[in-house]
């Protein structure tokens, strides 16, 4: 009876470092900032600018966008309705993991369909998903056309392009709207930082 138990009989207990403990270590809360808007509306640029401001405040952040998702996790998906839905579903699930990891998670995808965005919102608790609408008139996005995609869509080389021959469903009650067609990047960035302060995600300045 006094023998040292061999480990095969020991029930190893399951240590758990959870979200709250990670947030305590980080000195801020985690959240999903879901940027949505037309191609060229500045979602990814804004997300990265917000991330840079947060880094300077020593916050832990990560941006999920086409650059790191489309060729990796979702490299097997195309642009059919079903594939777009699955794309957003996976991104939502990954964002949820980063949320649990204590990270301020910024996602920058057109995510044109309300139902897809709502599905992600419903994956997490109220307040963990903040929808940020990058509102920018189609004409300005098309005029910028940084990636040349609008030109191709107009020429019919790309089918089902959001804003051209596929709809963009505007958020009805986003937590924040930034008018990326007329605000400067700095203004939009400050609005997002303001939202994070207001919601108690990051400490007051």
Q: Is 125 in the site for its own copies (CB under 8 A)?
A: no
Of the ranges 28-36, 53-61, 111-119, 162-170, which one interacts with its own copies (CB under 8 A)? 53-61
111 is catalytic: yes
Which residues, 6+ apart, have CB-to-CB distance to 93 below 8 Å? Answer: 123
Query: Helix, strand, or coil here: 178?
Result: strand
CA 171 to chain CA centroid, Å, is 15
Of 30, 41, 44, 111, catalytic: 111
Q: Is 173 in the site for its own copies (CB under 8 A)?
A: no
Among residues 1, 10, 82, 115, the one that binds its own copies under rule CB under 8 A: 10
Q: Which helix (H) or strand (E) holds 124?
A: none
Nearer CB in complex with its own copies: 2/173? 2
Q: Is 138 in the site for its own copies (CB under 8 A)?
A: no
Q: Is 131 in the site for its own copies (CB under 8 A)?
A: no
Helices H, strands E: what count in the chain? 8, 5
Q: Is 22 in the site for its own copies (CB under 8 A)?
A: yes
**Tokens found for residue 24:** 């305590």
Tell the smallest beta-carbon distance from residue 156 to its own copies (Å). Answer: 25
Among positions 84-113, residues that touch its own copies (CB under 8 A) are 86, 90, 93-94, 96-98, 100-103
Among positions 176-195, residues that touch its own copies (CB under 8 A) are 180-185
CB 36, CB 47: distance < 8 Å: no
Nearer CB in complex with its own copies: 17/157? 17
Of 52, 69, 70, which Cα lies nearest the Cα of 61?
52
Which residues, 6+ apart, have CB-to-CB distance to 12 below 8 Å? Answer: none
How far apart CA 186 and CA 130 sit, in angstroms, is: 20
Q: What is the dihedral of CA 94, 97, 98, 99, to 10 degrees?
A: 120
Q: Is 49 in the site for its own copies (CB under 8 A)?
A: yes
DSSP state of 9: G
Nearer CB in complex with its own copies: 62/152? 62
Question: Active-site positions?
Answer: 111
Using CB under 8 A as the criterion, which residues of the chain lie in contact with its own copies when the complex forms?
6-8, 10-17, 21-22, 25, 42, 44-46, 48-49, 51-52, 55, 58, 60-62, 64, 68, 72-73, 76, 86, 90, 93-94, 96-98, 100-103, 140, 143-144, 146, 180-185
């Amino acid at each position: 009876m006094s023998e040292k138990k061999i480990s095969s009989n020991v029930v190893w207990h399951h240590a758990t470092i959870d979200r709250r403990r990670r947030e305590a270590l980080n000195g801020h809360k985690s959240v999903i900032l879901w940027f949505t808007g037309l191609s060229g509306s500045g979602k990814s640029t804004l997300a990265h600018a917000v991330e840079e401001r947060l880094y300077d405040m020593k916050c832990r952040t990560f941006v999920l966008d086409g650059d790191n998702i489309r060729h990796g996790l979702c490299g097997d998906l195309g642009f059919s309705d079903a594939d777009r839905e699955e794309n957003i579903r996976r991104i939502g699930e990954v964002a949820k993991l980063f949320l649990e990891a204590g990270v301020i998670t910024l996602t920058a995808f057109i995510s044109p369909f309300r139902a897809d965005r709502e599905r992600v919102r419903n994956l997490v608790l109220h307040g963990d998903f903040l929808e940020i609408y990058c509102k920018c008139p189609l004409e300005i996005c098309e005029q910028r056309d940084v990636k040349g995609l609008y030109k191709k869509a107009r020429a019919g080389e790309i089918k089902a392009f959001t804003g051209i021959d596929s709809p963009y469903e505007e958020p009805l009650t986003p937590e924040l709207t930034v008018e990326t067609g007329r605000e400067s990047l700095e203004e939009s960035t400050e609005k997002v930082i303001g939202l994070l302060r207001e919601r108690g995600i990051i400490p007051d300045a």
